[in-house]
Amino acid sequence: MLRYRDYQQDIDALLYRFKPLRPAPVGPEETIPGSFWGAPEAGLIGSVIYLRDDTPVHSALHEAAHFVCMDATRRASLHTDAGGDFAEEDAVCYLQVLMAETLSGVGARRIYADMDAWGYSFRLGSTEAWFEQDAADARDWLLLHRLIDADGCPTWQLRD
């Protein structure tokens, strides 16, 4: 599984695109504030995403995508549980893959494998099958909220 420590500069640069979101490092073996699943998974409190060296890349991207996809009202009271409905969760997973595509050495195929290894579950059995064959609703959600353009490219903005 890919870890934050190996992609820190690229992940941090990506996260800074979504101001006011900002990464905050957590020391080795420290509890990760705002982690829904517990260490080593990323945590979210307000506009801060907490990451430890051993945080999986897929977790950092997933929590960042939650921040991007939630509206400003939810973002203002964000603490640990990003909430949202099933449609938003699917959009988060889709955006997570698009974010992985921007990271040198990561890409979609590797993030699919890490998501599958972690235990994401999709109707078609794998993350790749879902993304390639069953994610039109997630793509449409991202288009509706102007988080991707008509070509499926991230717009690098936050949901209003």
Summarised one tens digit per residue, pLDDT across range 32-90 is 999 999 999 999 999 999 999 999 999 999 999 999 999 999 999 999 999 999 999 99
* Residue 106: Cβ within 10 Å count: 21
pLDDT band at 133 (very low <50, low <70, confident <90, very high): very high
Q: Cα separation of 53 and 19, whole Å?
A: 22
What does DSSP say about strands 43-45 and 48-52: parallel, antiparallel, or unpaired?
antiparallel
Q: Angle at the Cα of 12 (from 76 to 62), degrees rounded to 5? A: 60
pLDDT band at 124 (very low <50, low <70, confident <90, very high): confident
> Which ranges constitute the DSSP H helices of the chain?
8-15, 57-69, 72-76, 86-101, 107-118, 127-133, 136-144
Q: What is the pLDDT of residue 119?
A: 84
Here the tokens at position 29 are 């073996």
